[in-house]
Amino acid sequence: MTTKANKATLKVLLQKRVILAKGLIFEAERELDLPIQPFVGLTLYNTEWCPPGCDESEDGIKEIAYDLKTGRILCYLPIDDFREEDNNYWTEERVRQRYRAWTLHLEEPRSNGRTQREIP
């Protein structure tokens, strides 16, 4: 028997940092409804688009926060760092395609050449 309580979902905001190259860093956000309360270590599958024949994406929630101002539950996912990958493949266009369900914000460098947050 399905009840109203069984159908309840929890709206969360996934956040991830995507590093393509020095000076080309995106803050990625994706809002979605989870059928369960999120917890650190929860693995989310298929958060990113992958071409047919490729492995599914898989991310574990690293940290959870609650924004008192907006009332949002924030789930932080691991950083995707493509600097060590084949740079001929990972272009800005390909990153935008992979994260097509996400909102990507290009991080602006500061006057000293560093980004708002130091690259790990």
> Which residue in 81, 74, 77 sits closest to 31, CA to CA?
74
Place of tokens 């995106």: 26
User: Which residues are CB-contacts of 101 (< 8 A; sequence separation ≥ 6)?
Assistant: 30, 47, 48, 49
Query: What pLDDT, on a 0 to 100 scale, did the predictor assign at position 3?
Result: 53
Q: What average pLDDT does the chain have?
A: 85
pLDDT, one tens digit per residue, over 9-36 is: 999 999 999 998 888 899 999 999 999 9
Query: What pLDDT, on a 0 to 100 scale, did the predictor assign at position 120?
Result: 41
Give me 35's structure tokens.
């059928």
Cβ atoms of residues 67 and 50 within 8 Å: no
Higher pLDDT, 114 or 98: 98
Query: What pLDDT, on a 0 to 100 scale, did the predictor assign at position 5?
Result: 53
pTM: 0.79
Give me 72's structure tokens.
């949002």
pLDDT, one tens digit per residue, over 71-92 is: 999 999 999 998 887 667 788 8
Cβ atoms of residues 83 and 20 within 8 Å: yes
Query: What pLDDT, on a 0 to 100 scale, did the predictor assign at position 31?
Result: 96
> Which residue in 6, 8, 10, 107 sits closest to 66, CA to CA?
10
Distance between CA atoms of 36 and 88, rounded to whole angstroms? 39
Cβ atoms of residues 11 and 67 within 8 Å: no
